[in-house]
Structure 1
Amino acid sequence: MSTATDEDVKVLHSMGYAQELARRMGGFSNFAISFSIICILAGGITSFPLALGTGLGFEAFVGWLVGGLFALVVAACLGQIGSAYPTAGGLYHWSSTLGGRGWGWATAWINLLGLIFVVASVNVGVWLLFRDLVMGGVFHVDVTSLTVQSLDPLPAGMSVDQANAINSHAIWAQIVAVSLITVSQALINHFGIKLTTMLTDFSGYMIFVIAIVLTGTFLIWGATWDVSRLFTFVNTTGDLGGGYVPAARPAIIAFLVGLLYPLYTITGFDASAHTAEETQNARVAVPRGMLHSVFWSLVFGLAMAASFVMASPDLAATAKDGGSAWFNLFNNLPAPVVLKDVLAIGIVAANFVCALAGLTSTSRMIYAFARDGGLPGSSLWKSVSPTWRTPVAAIWLGAVLSVAATLYSPAFAALAAGCALFLYVSYAMPIAAGLFAEGKTWTEFGPFRLGFWSKPLACISLLGVLVLMYAGIQPPFDILINYAIGAIVLMLALWFGIERRRFKGPPVGADIAKRASEIASAEKAVGQSV
């Protein structure tokens, strides 16, 4: 082992945990896994109609800037905590350490729900992009039977029965496709972090290249260069935005709902923390990975959004295309066919790796929570393969749960909003705990410190998440109220009925010393690394 790795293991032991996972990720890999989950080629494309359907070009450009800067503030706050406590399942451990085991237990469930929505929503997006860009665009297959048809109004020449039959077929096709995609991602995760890291490292470079080429393509072959579009707000809720937000809403509400465009995209950067136990020099690499992944996503995503806005021949008409807005825009670009085909395939590949990295993050959350006894059947979910050094059972549980989420809510927009809402709430929880614990029970920090800015930035993060919560339950995302109420009721019942007495949380004080023999046994069991 290197000196840095020895220090990483020493820090991990000091928190009462064994080095079971393989510590093979460098600083770039830690950045790349978060950058791959954020993936501006995922939400930056699939959620673009939401921006047009709430505030046209202003929402896409200024909204991206506002949302991106807010995400950067949140990442800085989390980075400071992650530098002090570099563990898998970071958010859960941080909330438990700084706010108590009950607060940590609730954080774990909310973060887990958000991560499941990440994998579910992106994999639905992978299917939609593959269907429309590759099957329809590259191979010119008629995808009508795979596309949900509007019932109000009905497509020309189509009866209600025909539309219902097509919709039933389209939904089942999506379920099968998403299931197959998720299984393939679980298999890649199963066979070691090395394979996953190779793909996410490649994806990190690929996202940069494709984003630059895609932006250039829109600007060269489509740009009107009407810069005023980027700064002119038009409330397009209701029919003006193709019904993407069905009911007309006041301008301020429209703008807030539109912030789900950048905030759905720029999320999942907690992957750098979830893979802390697989990262060398984690106390430095984790906060750097989170901050850099958010910053570069903000910069490149802003340029990309601007190119989309300026490439539309008629922005108001594009907004009326609703969920098909970006696809129609791309398909009608007079760019070389070969270039568009390569971009289409690259976009789908980047989205696939995005969800692959999301499943990695989800499995580490499950593993970390289970090893402290937080999940039913924890002994299974915390197990690590001695051959592959991965939490195999946790990987497959995450895969099953993410597919199940698409069965309850197959609509991409609801899954995307749920992802942003639940993840940012889970981000706010350790930040809130840290705000009250800093300088009191929290006195030991890592090398990354915010200093004077720590508490002001924490307050901004908490206020911003409250605003996001309000925006995230507006129609058409009000289905999330059912998720939220159900989750709150279930968590309260479980905590006060069972878990408050049973769940001990992460080891503290004397419990850490008592784990010495368990740590040695666990590390011996996975000692034959691959």
Structure 2
Amino acid sequence: MSGSTDEDVKVLHSMGYAQELARRMGGFSNFAISFSIICILAGGITSFPLAMATGSGFEATIGWVIGGVFALVVAACLGQIGSAYPTAGGLYHWSSILGGRGWGWATAWINLLGLIFVVASVNVGVWLLFRDLVLSGVFHVDVTAWTSVTTDPLPSGMTAEQAKAINSSAYTAQVVAVCLITLVQALINHFGIKLTTLLTDFSGYLILVVAVVLTLTFLGWGASWDFSRLTTFVNNTGDPGGNYVPEARPAFIAFLVGLLYPLYTITGFDASAHTSEETQNARVAVPRGMIHSVFWSLVFGFAMAVSFVLASPDLAQTAKDGGAGWFNLFNNLPAPGLLKDVLAIGIVLANFICALAGLTSTSRMIYAFARDGGLPASGVWKGVSPTWRTPVAAIWLGAVLSVAATLYSPAFAALAAGCALFLYVSYAMPIAAGLLAEGKTWTEFGPFRLGIWSKPLGAIAVLGVLVLMYAGIQPPFDILINYAIGLLVLLLVLWFGIEARRFKGPPIGGDIAKRASEIAEAEKAVGQST
């Protein structure tokens, strides 16, 4: 092992954990996996209609900057904690150390739910993009039977029975497609971090190239150069937004709901933390990976959003088109057909790798939580393949759960809002614990420090997430209230009924020294020399 890897293993041992996973990721790979999950070609496209349906061009551009800067604050706060505690459990482990095992246990479940929503929502997006950009746009396949229709009101000349049959066919096609997509992603994850890393490294470059070319294409073949569009707020909630946000809301509420556009897109950067134990020089690489992935997504995503707004022939009609708005913009661009075909394939491929990276992050969260006994049948889910050095059981559990989420809530908008809401709540939990613990029980820090900005930025992050929680339960996302209430009740019942007595949390104090023999045995089982 190299000197930096030796130091990484030493730090991991000092926290009571064995080096079971293969530490093969460099700094760029750690950045790339978060950048791949953020993937401005995913949420930056598929949730663009939400921006237009709430605040038009202002929401898509100025709202993007506001949401992106907030995400950068959150990433910096998490980076400081990740530099001190570079473990695969990430948020769960940090919350446990800084706020107690109950706080950490709750963080784990909320983060896990958010990660499942990431994979679920992006894979639904992969199917929609593949259907509308590649099958229809590139190969000119008639996808009418796989495309749902509105039932209130019914399309002209269509009966309720016909609409029901079409929507049933569209739902079946989506379920089959998502199952196949997720199966391939799980297989890639199964066969080692090296293959996953190769793809996410490639995705880092792919996203940048496609985003730049896509932006230039919209500007070159469609831009009106009416810059007033970028700073004009129009409240399109209700009927003007094509019922994307069906209930008319006050302008300020519309603006807050529209922030789900950047915050759904710029999320999942905790992947850098979840792959800490597979990253060399993790105490430096992890915070750098999170912050850089958010920053460059903010910059390139803004340029892309500007091009979409400037290229729209009619902003009101784009908002009215709802989910079809961006596709109509793209398909009607008078750009060369070959260029649009290549872009379409690149967008779909980037989205596929985005969800692949999301499944990687989810499986590492499951693995880390299970090795501390946080999951039912933890002995199964914490297993690591000696051959592939990956948590194979955790990978397949994450795959199954993500598919199940699309069955319960098949609508992309609800899955996207759930992803943003639950992930950012889980981000705020260790930050809030750190605010109270810093300088008291939290006295050991890593190389990355925020210094005097630590507590002010932490307070901004926590308050901002509270605002996001309010925005995330507004119609049409009020279905998430059921998720939130149900999860809260379930967590309270489980914790006070069972887990408060059973769950010990991550090792601390004298428990770490007692784990020496267990660490040696675990590393021997996967062929890791210490």
CA distance in 2, matches of 1:312, 1:511: 61
Quote the Cα distance in structure 2 between the aligned partners of 1:462 and 1:519: 36
- Looking at structure 1, the residues matched to 315 and 474 of structure 2 have their Cα atoms a distance apart, in angstroms, of 24
Are the counterparts in 1 of residues 19 and 528 from structure 2 also a CA contact under 8 Å?
A: no
Q: How far does residue 217 in structure 1 lie from its aligned partner after superposition? A: 0.2
Question: Aligned ranges for residues 363-402 of structure 1 at < 5 Å?
Answer: 363-402=363-402
Partner of 1:474: 474
| CA-CA distance at 1:159 after TM superposition | 1.2
Contact 1:22–1:193 (Cα < 8 Å) also in 2: yes
RMSD, aligned CA: 0.6
Hey, what does 1:236 align to over in structure 2? Answer: 236
Who is 1:289 aligned against? 289
* Aligned 1:49-88 pairs, distance under 5 A: 49-88=49-88
**1:36 is matched with which residue?**
36
Equivalent in the alignment of 1:253: 253
Secondary structure of 1:449's partner? coil
Deviation at 1:298, TM superposition (A): 0.1
- CA displacement, residues 147-188 of structure 1 (integer Å, 9 cap, x when unaligned): 111112222222111110010011011011001100100000
8 A contact 1:364–1:391 mirrored in 2: yes
Aligned mates of 1:141, 1:480 — CA distance in 2 = 35
Paired AA for residue 127 in structure 1: W
- 1:89, distance to aligned residue in structure 2 (A): 1.5
The equivalences for 1:405-484 within 5 A come to 405-484=405-484
Distance 2:143 2:223 in 1: 29
Amino acid at match of 2:326: W
| Deviation for aligned residue 1:318 | 1.1
User: Can you list the C-alpha shifts for 1:347-378, whole angstroms capped at 9, x where unaligned?
Assistant: 00000000000000000000000000000000
Q: Secondary structure at the match of 2:55?
A: helix
Structure 1: unaligned runs, 5 residues or longer: none
Check 1:350–1:511 CA distance in 2 against 1; reply closer, same or farther (3 A cut). Answer: same
What does residue 193 of structure 1 align with? 193
Amino acid at match of 1:293: S
Residue equivalent to 1:121: 121
Aligned to 1:275: 275
- Residue 499 (structure 1) aligns with: 499
The C-alpha deviation readout for 1:176-231, integer Å capped at 9, x for no partner, is 10011001000000000000000000000000000000000000000000111000
Distance in 1, Cα, partners of 2:147 & 2:485: 31
Q: Note the C-alpha offset of 1:528.
A: 6.5
* Paired residue type of 2:288: R
C-alpha distance in 2 between matches for 1:126 and 1:109: 26
1:22 corresponds to:
22
Paired position in structure 1 for 2:223: 223
Q: Which residue of 2 aligns with 1:325?
A: 325
Deviations 1:74-132 (A, max 9, x none): 00000000000000020000000000000000000000000000000000000000000
Give structure 2 stretches of 5+ with no counterpart.
Answer: none
Separation in 2, partners of 1:103, 1:375: 15
Please list every run of at least 4 consecutive aligned residues from structure 1 whose deviation after the TM superposition is greater than 4 angstroms: none
Q: Is the contact made by 1:386 and 1:528 (CA closer than 8 Å) also made in structure 2?
A: no
Q: How many residues align?
A: 529
Percent of residue pairs bearing the same amino acid type? 86
Matched residue, 1:102: 102
Residue type matched to 2:16 in 1?
G
Does the CA contact (< 8 Å) of 1:387 and 1:528 recur in 2? no
Q: Partners in 2 of 1:173 and 1:313 — Cα distance?
A: 32
CA distance in structure 2 between the aligned counterparts of 1:89 and 1:515, rounded to whole angstroms = 18
Mapped partners of 2:150, 2:518: distance in 1: 58
TM-score normalised by structure 2 residue count: 0.99
